[in-house]
Structure 1
Amino acid sequence: MTASASLLSAPIATASLRDELLANRTSTLTRLYQRTFPMVRRHVVERGGTTQDAKDVFQDALVVFYEKTVNGHLVLTCSPSTYLVGVCRHLWQQELSRRRRLPLSELDEAHAQLPDTAVAPVTEPTPALAVLEYVAKLSEKCQRILLSFYYFQQPLEQIAAENDYGSVRSATVQKFKCLERLRKAVRQAVAFTSAH
């Protein structure tokens, strides 16, 4: 068994995992995805979700996993795959609870038809500009956090200090929530566009 294969299947020292992620992030995350995603997809689909739901949950879990590992805040007592599956199960349970509280209502035929005057000509923006339009609709704080982290590549420690968060963990959670709001807005726009 190679070192990188054992990295994904057995409990390992978090420092070793951090080193592996820093040395070759893409390769390590790809192997982790290939090993873990089928289990996550099976869990989500068996509980009423879709493959896209599983991808969304897994991506969110992977972001948290990566950030905690690289920042030195993760302590593993199991394999990384087992840890990720556990996080995904928790995230999917939260999503199911949210869906039960806020069910999507189906539009009836009368409401689904929009008058022709309401349809504006659609110009195709570039993907980057389209995403920036959705970022601009977020709160000022979310805009600042996401742009600081993803565009200016500021460390979370700096973002936490600039936004008066008590800890890096608080900044990470807020960044995750802002990213989730952005993803939700984009998904709704894509669903609306593909329905028409």
Structure 2
Amino acid sequence: MGNKKNDIILEGIITGDKIILSDFYKQSTRYVRRYIIQNSGCEQDVEDIVQDALILIYQKLTKDTLELNCSIYTYFYGVCKNIWRNRLRRKKKITLGEAFITENNECFDDSIIDDIEKNEQEHLYRKYFLKLNDSNKKLLNHYFEGKSMREIANLMGYSEGYVRKKKFEAKKRLLEIIEQNSSYFELKACE
């Protein structure tokens, strides 16, 4: 990282320091806002993109995979631009062939685009997971936590066979809900 100001901001992101986060948000969001508004976006889009970019940076920091060769502000702006371009591309508002460009190309490794797309998929999953009934959510949460069918059966008071059947039905229902959404087909088109 090298830069003392970058280090302070990155530490603030990791620890959730409200003062540092607030200052970083104020200083970096105005440029992101201008870019998104000038490129077919609205205020809600700005808030979504900024939050997604912060989450992505936080995840990279906690996994120790963030390689920063520039200012955190430049990096953040580039991540926001790439997320926004990715969404626009899926909405067919800009050409599919447009490259992902930053002010300082050496700031990014190739995996950032993969991380952005993975984040978009997780966001879509979480959004529609909440539409499942409580029983299905509880069962799938246990399953995604890595619990065995026997453990889930004991926790929920069902037989193992019943849990297997309900898990299959819950996953099927979740996929049906997701596939009914146009965002699903936009994500599939990007693959």
TM bin (shorter chain) = 0.3 to 0.5
TM-score norm. by structure 1 comes to 0.46
TM-score normalised by L of structure 2: 0.47
